[in-house]
A and B are shown apart, each in its own frame.
Chain A
């Protein structure tokens, strides 16, 4: 465990109650002024509520960062006999678990916020779309909804105001694309979870073609605090364009793995070193992937960038939903790009050709490069294909799929070059490009390596330096792991 600095860098708004209340006890939530925000908005007009959220500057935390108040205002302005408030709890980004933690730690804040949003836009029905792989979050959310209903905080005539609102759950099978709002709505309707073109936006025509607001879990979790503490309080935190805080899930090569919530405008350096404790085992920090498969890798040169939507975009990455995967000197950036491509290739819904076939082609090129069979022409192909896919894919999944490639090609061009021109992987990750040799000066001839080599390609007499027959070596690394004298050189 790394020491933390004395200055507290974290500020918890969305996760204010996580770890402090029993999520299965509504009284714990009420003790912390739970449902007071809902009571307060019911004394205001919907337009006043929308205005308050607009003035707070809150932007959607699900990835795109669209201003929440403006979105609510569009739905409020669209007249309809029925409107819907949807909570997006699909959370498919590799390495992200912010939404799960909020739902497991403080489900009532999301329930309350959905009712507040419902009142603001004129919806009486809410749905939480949650992936079935989150059983504990589902259990706690269900209990929260039931308990709120028992107290009369959901259902008919809430706080005697005449406002009706209730929430149901719908389960997703855990397809990444179902987190995209139009696909999510189709999935809610019992159809295949495939995206459709926008416009119309869901706020105009969504679930069953009625005005529908889809918001992320963390977006909702901020709402009760904004209602109680006011728009000025919230907009006083953060940067000019990005207000409030952001929850990140630190994962990968970082000492303090876990959830953090920080004010917008904090630097990456503070997040990774002061809060995250840097990379474990004294390894050097190399990069951090923000925004999951839709984002890009930020490197040393970006460490002093203040985190907000605009500055991350300027560094060719995105805020995304908050997964932060940290990489150290032992990670190969070509392999990292390949890892994310592998993910999107599996998760494409297949509706459009650039995404379906393009992902496969991109993957093949990356695979070739990691096997030492790449050429300079492959780099040009990667770039042009990436740009075409970005321009022609229908939904955000395809449009952002090439981002990890483009960003690593840009920042780590030398690593791509080493794989292609020198047939070497500088981080010693790409198996096909490694050679194992024995340093005769260090080898004691203990013979341990000969015993573990599965293809018996190491030879030598006892107490004499051994040698590896490179033509037969399958590069399994067993000898390297076993040698007690660091005599095996991996290059």
Chain B
């Protein structure tokens, strides 16, 4: 890895990362909460089911990522899906069936699927 030696280096690095992320803008991003409790509630199962469904349907342009606590312990497993150009939406209680449905209905057709958790916080973005 390249060493970051100065603030300028850091800013250049950041720009490079942002450019890379901009390319991903045209993609669907499926972000699965994988903190200890989300995993215990079945987060990995949901992730695998969605990966399987994406593969089965031969979808390209879908990227998976893991994150930590989405703070909705009562609704775990939770999955955040960002369709290209759309606001991210968080779904709760994503068991295996719901996970597959999210891919076939929401990701593939943009159809609304039950279990959307409304955003209830403001967040400081640095």
Residues of A within 8 A of B (CB): 1, 3-5, 8-13, 15-16, 18-24, 27, 30-33, 35-36, 39-40, 43, 97, 100-101, 104-106, 134, 136-137, 140, 147, 150-153, 159-160, 224-225, 228-229, 255-261, 275
A19 contacts which chain B residues (CB < 8 A)? 31, 33, 67-71, 80
- Bound CA span A334–B21, Å: 55
Q: Distance (Å) between the CB of B20 and the closest chain A CB?
A: 8
B124 contacts which chain A residues (CB < 8 A)? 11-13, 16, 225, 229
B85 contacts which chain A residues (CB < 8 A)? none
A36 contacts which chain B residues (CB < 8 A)? 7, 10, 126
Q: Distance (Å) between the CB of B17 and the closest chain A CB?
A: 5
- Bound CA span A152–B1, Å: 9
B122 contacts which chain A residues (CB < 8 A)? 8, 10-12
Q: Closest chain B residue to A2 by CB distance?
A: B74
Counting CB contacts under 8 A, is B6 at the interface?
yes
B75 contacts which chain A residues (CB < 8 A)? 1
Chain B 97-119 interface residues, beta-carbon cutoff 8 Å to A: 117-119
- Bound CA span A12–B124, Å: 6
Counting CB contacts under 8 A, is B57 at the interface?
no
B31, B67, B125 — most chain A CB neighbours (10 Å): B67
- Bound CA span A153–B3, Å: 8
B36 contacts which chain A residues (CB < 8 A)? 100, 104, 134, 136-137
| Residues A33 and B118 in contact, CB atoms below 8 Å apart | no
- Bound CA span A257–B36, Å: 15
| Residues B4 and A105 in contact, CB atoms below 8 Å apart | no
A12 contacts which chain B residues (CB < 8 A)? 121-124
Q: Closest chain B residue to A32 by CB distance?
A: B126
A1 contacts which chain B residues (CB < 8 A)? 74-75, 92, 117
Q: Distance (Å) between the CB of B75 and the closest chain A CB?
A: 6
A225 contacts which chain B residues (CB < 8 A)? 124, 126
A258 contacts which chain B residues (CB < 8 A)? 71-74
Interface string of B10-49 (1 = CB under 8 A from A): 1001100110110000000001010111010000000000
Counting CB contacts under 8 A, is B5 at the interface?
yes
Interface string of B50-69 (1 = CB under 8 A from A): 00000000000000011111
- Bound CA span A36–B12, Å: 12
B31 contacts which chain A residues (CB < 8 A)? 19
A19, A22, A101 — most chain B CB neighbours (10 Å): A19
| Residues A15 and B71 in contact, CB atoms below 8 Å apart | yes
| Residues A39 and B69 in contact, CB atoms below 8 Å apart | no
- Bound CA span A5–B65, Å: 29
Q: Distance (Å) between the CB of B106 and the closest chain A CB?
A: 18
B68 contacts which chain A residues (CB < 8 A)? 18-19, 23, 101, 104-106, 140
19 contacts between A and B (CB under 8 A): A11-B123, A12-B121, A13-B124, A18-B68, A22-B65, A30-B17, A31-B21, A33-B14, A100-B35, A104-B68, A136-B36, A136-B39, A137-B36, A150-B1, A151-B3, A152-B5, A153-B4, A258-B74, A261-B121
| Residues A160 and B39 in contact, CB atoms below 8 Å apart | no
| Residues A136 and B14 in contact, CB atoms below 8 Å apart | no
| Residues A23 and B5 in contact, CB atoms below 8 Å apart | no
- Bound CA span A275–B73, Å: 13
In the complex where A19-B33, A97-B37, A104-B68 touch, is A4 in contact with B120 (Cβ < 8 A)?
Answer: yes
B6 contacts which chain A residues (CB < 8 A)? 39, 159-160
| Residues A18 and B4 in contact, CB atoms below 8 Å apart | no
Q: Closest chain A residue to B37 by CB distance?
A: A97
8 extra interchain contacts, Cβ-Cβ under 8 A, other than A151-B13, A225-B126, A259-B69?
A: A16-B123, A23-B68, A32-B125, A33-B126, A134-B36, A136-B36, A137-B36, A159-B10
Q: Distance (Å) between the CB of B94 and the closest chain A CB?
A: 13
- Bound CA span A152–B21, Å: 23
| Residues A104 and B69 in contact, CB atoms below 8 Å apart | yes
A27 contacts which chain B residues (CB < 8 A)? 17, 20
- Bound CA span A243–B9, Å: 34
Q: Distance (Å) between the CB of B15 and the closest chain A CB?
A: 10
Residue of A4, A43, A104 near B35 (CB, 8 A) is: A104
Q: Distance (Å) between the CB of A229 and the closest chain B CB?
A: 7
- Bound CA span A184–B8, Å: 39
Residue of A22, A137, A257, A259 near B66 (CB, 8 A) is: A22
B37 contacts which chain A residues (CB < 8 A)? 97
B21 contacts which chain A residues (CB < 8 A)? 31
Q: Closest chain A residue to B92 by CB distance?
A: A1
- Bound CA span A153–B13, Å: 13
Q: Distance (Å) between the CB of A7 and the closest chain B CB?
A: 9
| Residues A159 and B4 in contact, CB atoms below 8 Å apart | yes
Q: Closest chain B residue to A12 by CB distance?
A: B123
A261 contacts which chain B residues (CB < 8 A)? 71, 121
| Residues A151 and B35 in contact, CB atoms below 8 Å apart | no
In the complex where A18-B69, A159-B5 touch, is A105 in contact with B35 (Cβ < 8 A)?
Answer: yes
- Bound CA span A12–B122, Å: 6
B4 contacts which chain A residues (CB < 8 A)? 35, 151-153, 159
A4 contacts which chain B residues (CB < 8 A)? 118, 120
B18 contacts which chain A residues (CB < 8 A)? 31
Q: Distance (Å) between the CB of B89 and the closest chain A CB?
A: 13
- Bound CA span A313–B5, Å: 47
| Residues B14 and A31 in contact, CB atoms below 8 Å apart | yes
- Bound CA span A228–B6, Å: 17
